[in-house]
Amino acid sequence: LLSCRLYCEEAKDPKRRSCQTVLAEALDIVVRSFAPILPHLAEEVFQYIPYKKDSEGVFRTGWINASSAWKKPGIEEAIEGACAMRDSFLGSISGKNSLEYEVIIVIEPGLLFELMEALQAEETSSASQLNEIMMASQTTLLSEFPKETPSDANITKGTFLINLEG
């Protein structure tokens, strides 16, 4: 998923840029974390980061400052729920190419549904974050079971517990 975003998308594409942002934040946190233990290595890595504008060293720029944008309530639970659904889906097709499938996720209205909507705003998408996590050709998110389902549909049911208390 990361390599596709980094190498297949255009340079200004928001998917590619968001992936680069995550990798840059991860590198910054890792370098600052091991700086007290490996100061020379941390300083050298920090000096060669190409997107850093300031020339100050790792020890002069302060400790780790996580942006509040990374702390959206429920986003971790949404990703965990989507990954659990993906694992269930991939387990049901056992070794087949997941991109050959269109996935329909039915979740009762409530907190889990709202969390999934944060990953896919439209009902059906082939380019949403939820669809990328599911690794399918297309993902549909519904709040009730569809009236008509194909005869060859593989229906998998599951229960996912979301804990927002931390």
Which of 22, 47, 70 represents a domain boundary (last residue)?
Answer: 70
| 29/107 Cα distance (integer angstroms) | 36
Residues 45 and 58 occupy one common structural domain:
yes
Which of 70, 99, 120 represents a domain boundary (last residue)?
Answer: 70
What is the mean pLDDT of each successive set of 10 residues along the chain, which is 166 residues long? 76 86 87 90 87 74 70 76 87 86 88 83 89 90 82 68 51
Q: Residue 43, SS3?
A: helix
pLDDT of residue 74: 74
pLDDT of residue 166: 46
Q: Is residue 8 domain-resident?
A: yes
Q: Is residue 158 domain-resident?
A: no
Tokens (6 digits) for 107: 């979740």
Range of the domain at 59: 1-70
Question: Please, which residues bridge with residue 133 across strands?
Answer: none
Tokens (6 digits) for 164: 């927002």
Only one residue has tokens 């060859």, namely 152
Residues 43 and 85 occupy one common structural domain:
no
What pTM, to 2 d.p., does this model score?
Answer: 0.63
pLDDT of residue 139: 92
Q: What does the buried/exposed string (b/e) look like for 141-166 if buried means 16 or more CB atoms within 10 Å of the residue's CB?
A: beeeeeeeeeeeeeeeeeeeeeeeee
Q: How many domains does the chain have?
A: 2
| 104/12 Cα distance (integer angstroms) | 31
Residues 90 and 116 occupy one common structural domain:
yes
Residues 8 and 29 occupy one common structural domain:
yes
